């Protein structure tokens, strides 16, 4: 039996597949996608296996990751439910993992039955370069080993944070949606530098590295972002002028509203 299988090999599923191959070896990974050519191309590149169908994959993998969109995940889960039921009756246990935003663990359990454990993760696109922030939740009454094994199998994707399911939709707006906002910030910083005469490639590269270093200051010093901001703002200097310009344009409120609205949408996706 393969250690982990992935139904769905799109952008996010593909990033997790790469991480699994790097973490536990491609020989322990099996994949499938509704576009067979996509699964075959990825398998050829990584050396992992391709299942002929979702049902075959469900029989052959201990952990089954449903890397599909919220609007189809119930359909996909329902189609593998008979296989999981049959396997459970024969004493073979499987763990289903969902990455669909907004779709609760209980909703998946309703599709596949109570005999299969369901975990829920929310990765983000930086997992593609091993710098992901992956939220993980699941029933509190299942063995700790089921969580840790999944974390080890996807360790190459980045860092895990275990949270209660009640927090995950709101946190998804910070971890999974916010990279888009950060990319917009980097692009805007580069645009401003270009307007002052800096070459585009240099401006973009230095803006990205500045964001990376600033994030490290928050995580590694443990200081409040406001304190770190104040330390850069010399009296009468150029930084406080820039901060004032951001406040005049509603920068912080725009970010706050983006997080709130994303969180609301995440909840709606599960309905």
pLDDT band at 103 (very low <50, low <70, confident <90, very high): very high
Are the CB atoms for 163 and 136 separated by under 8 Å? Answer: yes
For the residues 149-153, what does the mean pLDDT come to? 97
- 2-163 and 171-269, same CATH topology: no
The neighbouring-strand residues paired with 161 are 135
- State both tokens at 120: 């829920």
Query: Residue 75 belongs to what H/E stretch?
Result: helix 70-89
Is pLDDT above 80 for 128? yes
Task: Look at the block and give the residue holding tokens 């063995």.
Answer: 143
Residues 6 or more apart whose Cβ sits within 8 Å of residue 141: none
Domain ranges within the chain, ordered by starting residue: 2-163, 171-269
pLDDT above 80: residue 271:
no
Mean predicted confidence (pLDDT) in 165-185? 95
Identify any residues that bridge with 118 across adjacent strands, giving them in sequence order. 96
CA R_g for the chain: 21
Res 115: pLDDT: 81
Where are the extended beta strands (E) located within 12-77? 29-32, 49-50, 61-66
Count other Cβ atoms within 10 Å, centred on residue 80. 25
The topology under which CATH files domain 171-269 is: ProC C-terminal domain-like fold (1.10.3730)
pLDDT-derived band at 84, boundaries 50, 70, 90? very high
pLDDT tens for 235-265 read 999 999 999 999 999 999 999 999 999 999 9
Instruction: Please state the φ and ψ torsions of residue 74, each to the nearest 5 degrees.
Output: -65, -40
Contact 33, 51 (CB under 8 A): no
CATH architecture of 2-163: 3-Layer(aba) Sandwich (3.40)
Helix (H) or strand (E) holding 245: helix 238-248
Q: Which residues, other chains included, contact 192 with Cβ-Cβ below 8 Å and sequence gap of 6+?
A: none
Q: In whole angstroms, give the CA distance from residue 96 to residue 146.
A: 11
Query: Can you tell me the distance from the alpha carbon of 96 to that of 107, in angstroms, rounded to the nearest whole number?
Result: 12
String of DSSP letters for 127-147: GGGT-EEEEEE--TTS-HHHH
Q: Contact, 179 vs 126, CB < 8 A?
A: yes
Query: What pLDDT band is residue 214 in, cutting at 50, 70 and 90?
Result: very high
Vertex 182, ends 176 and 187: CA angle to 5°?
140
pLDDT computed for residue 43 by the predictor: 97
Average pLDDT over residues 185-195: 98
Counting every residue written for the chain, the total comes to 271
């Amino acid at each position: 039996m393969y250690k982990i299988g992935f139904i769905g090999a799109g952008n996010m599923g593909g990033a997790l597949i790469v991480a699994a191959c790097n973490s536990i070896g491609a020989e322990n990974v099996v994949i499938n996608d509704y576009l067979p050519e996509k699964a075959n191309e990825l398998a050829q590149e990584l050396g992992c296996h391709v299942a002929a169908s979702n049902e075959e994959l469900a029989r052959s993998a201990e952990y089954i990751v449903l890397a599909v969109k919220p609007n189809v995940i119930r359909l996909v889960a329902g189609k593998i439910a008979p296989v999981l039921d049959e396997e459970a009756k024969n004493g073979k246990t499987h763990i289903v993992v969902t990455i669909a935003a907004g779709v609760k663990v209980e909703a998946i359990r309703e599709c596949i039955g109570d005999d299969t454990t369901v975990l829920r993760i929310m990765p983000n696109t930086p997992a593609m370069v091993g710098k992901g922030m992956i939220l993980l939740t699941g029933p509190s009454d299942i063995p700790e080993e089921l969580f840790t094994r999944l974390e080890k199998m996807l360790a190459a994707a980045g860092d895990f944070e275990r949270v209660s399911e009640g927090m995950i939709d709101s946190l998804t707006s910070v971890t999974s949606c916010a990279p888009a906002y950060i990319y917009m910030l980097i692009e805007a910083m580069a645009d401003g530098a270009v307007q002052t005469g800096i070459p585009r490639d240099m401006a973009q590269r230095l803006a990205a590295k500045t964001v990376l270093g600033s994030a490290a200051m928050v995580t590694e010093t443990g200081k409040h972002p406001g304190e770190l901001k104040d330390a850069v703002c010399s009296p009468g200097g150029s930084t406080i002028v820039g901060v004032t310009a951001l406040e005049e344009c509603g920068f912080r409120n725009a970010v706050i509203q983006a997080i709130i609205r994303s969180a609301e949408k995440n909840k709606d996706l599960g309905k």
